[in-house]
Amino acid sequence: MKFLCIPCDEQMETQTDGIMPDESKNLAMKFKCKKCGHMIAMLTNKFETEFVSKLGVEMGGASADGKAPLSVVGSQLSQAKKELDRGKPEDNLVWTEEAQERIKRVPFFVRNMAKKTVINFALEKGATLIDGKLMDEVREKVGM
Amino acid sequence: MKTYEDLAGDGGSNIISQVVSQREKLRSRLDKIKNKVALMSGKGGVGKSSITANFAACLVDQGYTVGILDADLNGPSIGHLLGVGNDQKLQIDEDGIQPGQGTLGIKIMSMDMLVSNPDTPVMWTEEGGATAVWVSTMESTALRELLADTNWGELDFLLIDMPPGSDRMDNIRDLIPELAGAVEITIPSPLSQHIVAKSITKNNTMGVPIIGLIENMATYVCPHCDQEGKLFEGQDVSELADRKGVPLIGKIPFDTRVSRKTDSGNLFYTENKDSITGKAIAEAVENILNFIEKKSK
């Protein structure tokens, strides 16, 4: 799927930050026209989100987790062995259990983008702890 | 206004290159495996997994290197049959996941190896709210990852133990277009033959080569006197083979030692290759090898 800015007749670019998908699998993705800067959001329902996930890819490029063996099975299989667990964020920030659970519930193909957005927000703010409150702030800030 | 074709890239979503990368990874893995054979049946409970395991043992006995992909994601049994317990720690590195080392060095990959304990079913997401679409999606993706991310190494044969039914063949055909063919397995009962006939028809329609039909539990072998008797009442399976235009490549008698051996992690064929059932297994495997040899010419 591609998006076109009609006034500029230019392809809109996928924004790899600012995405904050709802954990109920209602996905929101931003696209921006590089010529005029106009932005739109693509909103999908649960079934459309599942359809995109079928490709087993990550929006905006594969992360290290996404390139790892059994990356989709490991992140989506309930009660998988510990060796396969890829849900835990890897950075120097402290993630509360609630925050970890929330990020794990984000569909795998946009999880990396969502993680980056949260981390960048925390770093900008000088926060060292990522908790549910901070994640709510991110959602409010990015407007999704 | 520009059309879809006018827009050269994908706007930074990077989806196409990832799909291409997935395919390349799968291809590089499969290129190291000479022959891929699916063992299937429209019907459950006909002994597919047991036959797959014993065929693998027969191939190893002839000097071939063999792996088994357990494509029965929800009812995996290959690990159990080949002595790879759920308690074995997974070995994962950048190159992939190491397959389980089953009896006779047969390499296996099965969902049973990935879940946290032996009683854990394969479920996608914790919430229990997975829709049918989601489950189907995840199963397709899981099959691709099990094939592409397992470090099979160089193999002469990869046997694919299919789940009951013929729907999973759509995935396998897409993932392994060079599949040597499918072996259809039935028991003599009219019900089994009725369902297997549909599976053969579907494979013919999809253009999946059918190596042949195997009649499992064709007879019963008395463990005391080696006399054979009928186990099931039913139509002659050769009639089904003739009607569907596929060769009947094996009639394998039921031997109680098959289940006793396989349930202990050992394989019947290894210790009983000179038995009536052992010889029938070897004959069926010989027919599969002949099919592959003819096809390659």
**Tens digit of pLDDT for each residue in A112-122?**
778 888 888 89
pLDDT score for A24: 67
Find the CATH number of the domain harbouring B65.
3.40.50.300
ipTM (interface pTM) = 0.81
Contacts of B71 in chain A (CB under 8 A): none
Contacts of B149 in chain A (CB under 8 A): 69-70
Q: Would you call B263 exposed, middle or buried from its count of C-beta atoms within 10 A (0-12, 13-18, 19+)?
A: exposed
In chain A the first and final C-alpha atoms are separated, in Å, by: 21
Please give the residue range of the domain that contains residue B277. Answer: 30-296
Which of A70, A84, A85 best probes binding to B when mutated, by most B CB atoms within 10 angstroms? A70
Instruction: Report which of B118, B116, B67 is spatially closest to residue B96, judged by C-alpha positions.
Output: B67
Q: Cβ of A77 and B92 within 8 Å?
A: no
Residue A87's region, left for phi above 0, alpha for psi from -120 to 50, else beta, is alpha
d(Cα B261, Cα B265) in Å, to the nearest integer? 7
Judged by a CB distance cut-off of 8 A, whether residue A41 touches chain B is no
d(Cα B85, Cα B120) in Å, to the nearest integer? 13
Contacts of A60 in chain B (CB under 8 A): 12-14
B8 located within any domain: no
B25 located within any domain: no
DSSP A101: H
Number of domains in chain B: 1
**pLDDT confidence tier of residue A30, bands split at 50, 70 and 90:** confident
Q: Cβ of B124 and A79 within 8 Å?
A: no
Helix (H) or strand (E) holding B79, with range, is helix B78-81
Residue A87 has pLDDT above 70, yes or no: no
B19 located within any domain: no
Instruction: Report which of B287, B62, B74, B258 is spatially closest to residue B161, judged by C-alpha positions.
Output: B74
Judged by a CB distance cut-off of 8 A, whether residue A26 touches chain B is no
B21 located within any domain: no
Which of A81, A108, A112 best probes binding to B when mutated, by most B CB atoms within 10 angstroms? A81
**A44 compared with A122, residue with greater pLDDT:** A122
Q: Report the residue from B4, B94, B115 with minimal CB separation from A81.
A: B115
B184 located within any domain: yes
Judged by a CB distance cut-off of 8 A, whether residue A123 touches chain B is no
**pLDDT confidence tier of residue A144, bands split at 50, 70 and 90:** low
Q: Cβ of B145 and A60 within 8 Å?
A: no
Number of domains in chain A: 1
B98 located within any domain: yes
Instruction: Report which of B189, B255, B251 is spatially closest to residue B222, judged by C-alpha positions.
Output: B255
How many Cβ pairs within 8 Å bridge chains A and B? 125
Q: Report the residue from A11, A46, A62 with minimal CB separation from B18.
A: A62
d(Cα B297, Cα B292) in Å, to the nearest integer? 9
Q: Would you call B41 exposed, middle or buried from its count of C-beta atoms within 10 A (0-12, 13-18, 19+)?
A: buried
Q: Which whole number is the average pLDDT over A105-110?
A: 77
d(Cα A133, Cα A113) in Å, to the nearest integer? 19
Q: Cβ of B138 and A59 within 8 Å?
A: no
Please give the residue range of the domain that contains residue A51. Answer: 4-142
Contacts of A66 in chain B (CB under 8 A): 18
**Nearest-CA residue of chain B relative to A13?**
B11
Q: Cβ of A2 and B4 within 8 Å?
A: yes
CA distance A131 to chain B (A): 21
Judged by a CB distance cut-off of 8 A, whether residue A34 touches chain B is no
**Nearest-CA residue of chain A relative to B1?**
A9
Judged by a CB distance cut-off of 8 A, whether residue A81 touches chain B is yes
Q: Report the residue from B9, B117, B124 with minimal CB separation from A77.
A: B124
Q: Cβ of A31 and B11 within 8 Å?
A: yes
pLDDT in tens for each of the 297 residues of chain B?
Answer: 988 889 888 777 777 888 888 899 999 999 999 999 999 998 888 999 999 999 999 999 999 999 999 999 999 999 999 999 888 889 998 889 999 999 999 999 999 999 988 888 888 765 556 677 777 778 888 999 999 999 999 999 999 999 998 888 998 999 999 999 999 999 999 999 999 999 999 999 999 999 999 999 989 888 788 888 888 877 789 999 999 999 999 999 998 888 776 666 779 999 999 999 999 999 999 999 999 999 888
CA distance A76 to chain B (A): 6
**pLDDT confidence tier of residue A90, bands split at 50, 70 and 90:** low
Judged by a CB distance cut-off of 8 A, whether residue A103 touches chain B is no
d(Cα B100, Cα B70) in Å, to the nearest integer? 11
Residue type, B295: K
**Nearest-CA residue of chain A relative to B90?**
A83
Which of B87, B134, B139, B170 best probes binding to A when mutated, by most A CB atoms within 10 angstroms? B134
Which of B3, B7, B15, B73 best probes binding to A when mutated, by most A CB atoms within 10 angstroms? B15
